[in-house]
Amino acid sequence: MIKNLKNLTLVALSTLLFTACSIKEPIVIPKNQDIVELSNKADDDFINQNKATKDYFDKYFRPWSASKVSYPKNEAMWGLSYKNRKIYLENHKLATKEWFNKVINNSNFDEYNVVPKKAITLKNTNVRVLPSNSPMFYDPTKPGEGFPFDYNQNSLIKINTPILVSHLSKDKAWAYIESSIVGGWVEINSIAFVNDEFIKNFKTTNYYTSIKEKFPIYDPIFREYVKVATIFPKKEDKYIIAKKDDNQNAIITYIDLQNDEIEAMPISFNSANRIKLLNELLEEPYGWGGLLNNRDCSSFTQDFFAPFGKFLHRNSKAQTTNGKFLDMSKLSLEEKKEFMKKHGVPFSTLVYLKGHIMLYVGVKDNEPLVVHNVWSVRLKDNTGRKYRHIIGKATITTLEPGKGMKDFDEDNNILKKVTGITIL
């Protein structure tokens, strides 16, 4: 397992140093033994896994015990406010008033929560802000705007996710839904409606979680590329997913999974499993809101902890409430590092700055290290022109990624923007 840690054994990496002053690239990838050393220093007993897992499944299945979508109607309609902004569509042309009016009319919010229905996802499913697959960009000619920052992409929820449907769009192509972590619009062909009998058969109380990233499943034809932290109820020696009948109703179906793809949840919070999951998640391309079946910063931390039974909210700010938040906003850069080393618990501490979240994994050569899925490092040349060095994947860095690079912009130093840590 450790020998197979992907992309961590390249010969060139053996010359990398961990001191911030020596970093010429924003990525710091340790050798195998460094990853093992960091993980071994974590506290295996830090999370009460039995208690955490019960809480996880209480939240996971909550949409099936609810009588209506929980958001007030005005909150559910928040995405309609984009009509007041300059939004560029897939052709890099401004969205017209007519385009927004058509989408807003199709949203059909007069029917919000009138006849809620329980449902389940049939595949990994994009949750959209508006009922449209059209991307919505701010000025795509500017660094940090345009692809991949589609502001119509709210999140991604996995196959087998319980949801509650508030209502359908007027064209019946979209459903407004709520899962345990997010609300928004999903395509109708990605879900099926469930009844009490289906729920009874699905809730086996014997749940397994995927520990391998993007492996295919079949029913008997291809169904999905499964992501880490996907939930599968088990019955005897088979695993349950849903398929739909001709009336969009869910039917229980059974599939086979391999032992190296799945384990009983929660998996033990030990060094071998931390390394195993990190191995699966490192190097995954960045995906804003789960775009293209990838992860952003908060879905990375969310999916790292889910197999251990620990529930995290979907966005970075909300995740700071999933434990004890310690404020660092008034500290200097060096004070922040020392605070992290003193109070941070490796592999059990989230590091927060506005719009971004990272997982603290320990100290190497006196530098705190974090793992995170990150898009870019902001740079500025001597003329004042701002640009980005694209990382675009899950990786390990210091708290000052890019320090020592040409045009490093101290005003955009991540460490400078860190406001606190959350001890889970």
- For 137-195, the pLDDT digits (tens) are 999 998 889 999 999 999 999 999 999 999 999 999 999 999 999 999 999 999 999 99
Domains in the chain, please, with CATH? 2-47+269-423 (3.90.1720.10), 55-264 (no CATH)
- For 74-116, the pLDDT digits (tens) are 999 999 999 999 999 999 999 999 999 999 999 999 999 999 9
d(CA 363, CA 343): 12
**Which segment of 7-11, 144-148, 324-328 scores lowest on mean pLDDT?**
7-11
Residue 157 identity: I
What band does 199 get if pLDDT is binned at 50, 70 and 90? Answer: very high
Contact 301, 319 (CB under 8 A): yes
| DSSP symbol at 233 | E
**Residue predicted with more confidence, 32 or 10:** 32
Q: Which helix (H) or strand (E) covers residue 273, if one does? A: helix 271-281
The two three-digit tokens of residue 273, written as one number? 């499993």
Rounded to 5 degrees, what angle do the CA atoms 157, 127, 279 make? 35
What band does 28 get if pLDDT is binned at 50, 70 and 90? Answer: low
d(CA 285, CA 374): 9
d(CA 385, CA 360): 32
d(CA 264, CA 205): 11
Residues 6+ apart with CB under 8 A from 200: none
The two three-digit tokens of residue 127, written as one number? 């949750």
Is the pLDDT confidence value at 6 over 50? no
What band does 26 get if pLDDT is binned at 50, 70 and 90? Answer: low
Is the N-terminal amide bond of 72 cis, ω within 30° of 0? Answer: no
HSE value, Cβ hemisphere, 13 Å, CA-based, for 347: 25
3-class SS shares of the chain: helix, strand, coil, % to 5: 30, 30, 40
Q: What is the pLDDT of residue 158?
A: 98
Q: What is the pLDDT of residue 49?
A: 96
Q: What is the pLDDT of residue 25?
A: 59
DSSP-H helix ranges across 210-254? none
The two three-digit tokens of residue 307, written as one number? 């197999």
d(CA 136, CA 150): 5
Helix (H, G, I), strand (E, B) or coil at 303: helix
Is the pLDDT confidence value at 34 over 90? no
Among 324, 323, 422, 309, CA closest to 52: 309
Is the pLDDT confidence value at 19 over 50? no
Among 422, 424, 416, 418, CA closest to 326: 422
Is the pLDDT confidence value at 217 over 50? yes
Q: What is the pLDDT of residue 20?
A: 33
Residues 6+ apart with CB under 8 A from 139: 86, 88, 145, 146
| DSSP symbol at 125 | E
**Which segment of 112-121, 231-240, 381-390 scores lowest on mean pLDDT?**
381-390
Q: What is the pLDDT of residue 24?
A: 52
Q: What is the pLDDT of residue 27?
A: 63
Radius of gyration (Cα) for the chain, nearest Å? 22
Q: What is the pLDDT of residue 35?
A: 81
What band does 133 get if pLDDT is binned at 50, 70 and 90? Answer: very high
d(CA 138, CA 117): 35
DSSP string, 306-360: GGGT----SSHHHHTTSSEEEE-TTS-HHHHHHHHHHH--TTSEEEEETTEEEEE
| Averaged pLDDT for residues 207-221 | 97
Give Cα separations from 161 to 179, 181, 245, 282 (angstroms).
7, 10, 18, 24
Q: What is the pLDDT of residue 222?
A: 97
Q: What is the pLDDT of residue 327?
A: 98
Q: What is the pLDDT of residue 33?
A: 76
What band does 275 get if pLDDT is binned at 50, 70 and 90? Answer: very high
Is the pLDDT confidence value at 60 over 70? yes
What burial class does residue 383 get, using C-beta atoms within 10 Å of its C-beta: 0-12 exposed, 13-18 middle, 19+ buried?
A: exposed
Is the pLDDT confidence value at 32 over 80? no
Is the pLDDT confidence value at 341 over 80? yes
Q: What is the pLDDT of residue 9?
A: 30
What band does 324 get if pLDDT is binned at 50, 70 and 90? Answer: very high
Q: What is the pLDDT of residue 144?
A: 87
Strand residue runs (E) in 256-302: 262-264
Beta strands 238-244 and 231-235 are: antiparallel
Cα pseudo-dihedral 149, 154, 158, 162, rounded to 10: 180
What band does 4 get if pLDDT is binned at 50, 70 and 90? Answer: very low
